[in-house]
Amino acid sequence: MDRNIYEKLLKNAWDWIDQHHVEPILVEKAFSNEGWAGTLDLFCEMDSEGFKTKRWCKLRGVKYPQPHQRVRTLIDWKFCNGFYDDMPVKLSAYFKLLEEYDYNPEAMVIGRFSKETGSLNVKDYTNEYKESLETFQLACKLFHLNFKNYLENLEQEAERQRIAKAERNKK
């Protein structure tokens, strides 16, 4: 990454963190349950103005601006040039893990840094939690099913090779 863009990226991150009075609770914390594991980027308490924008309020049919409050927020940092439909899927899995560990998250957002300019955009995905978690859980089931089939195929191949070796040794 170009040094100037990298410096701008860091400045934008720190400015945003200061502006929204972010207080980290967990940073780069690994979690797991019986179905999946991962390392979340940041779980913090922050000012609600960080994501309760005019657009956010309009989409939810609530008055803008919302009263000031502190919100327990899960943040996943991304370095890319756009927001993508699959972004909240992994985020929802981290949110679920936080719930399971009694951290009581209230919001989940993506902080997206542009690789080209170093700019920072933050998007709230809290309302997509349930649908995204269902997608994630279905993907996990598919992965585990495929992995189980893969292991069964490996066992069958190993058995075929043992039989072939035994037959070669007989000769």
Give the pLDDT band (50/70/90) at residue 153: confident
Say what percent of the chain tops pLDDT 90: 41
Over the stretch 61-71, which tens digit does the pLDDT of each residue have?
A: 888 877 778 89
Residue 85 in domain: yes
Domain assignment present for residue 59? The answer is yes
Q: For residue 100, is it within any domain?
A: yes
Distance between CA 170 and CA 69 in Å, rounded? 78
Classify residue 164: in a domain, yes or no. Answer: no
Q: Return the pLDDT at 50.
A: 63
Residue 155: inside a domain, yes or no?
no
Does 143 reside within a domain? no
What single DSSP character describes residue 67?
A: P
Domain assignment of residue 7, given as a range: 3-131
Where does the pLDDT of residue 99 fall: very low under 50, low under 70, confident under 90, or very high at 90 and above?
Answer: very high
Letter string b/e over residues 47-84, b meaning 16 or more CB atoms within 10 A of that residue's CB: bbbbbbbeebeeeeeeeeeeeeeebebbbbebeeeeee
In a domain, 61, yes or no: yes
Angle formed by the axes of helices 129-170 and 87-100, nearest 10°: 90
pLDDT for residue 51: 62
> Is 77 part of a structural domain of the chain?
yes
- Give the mean model confidence (pLDDT) for residues 78-91: 89
Tally of structural domains, the chain: 1
Residue 100 has pLDDT above 90, yes or no: yes
Note the pTM of the prediction, 2 decimals.
Answer: 0.74
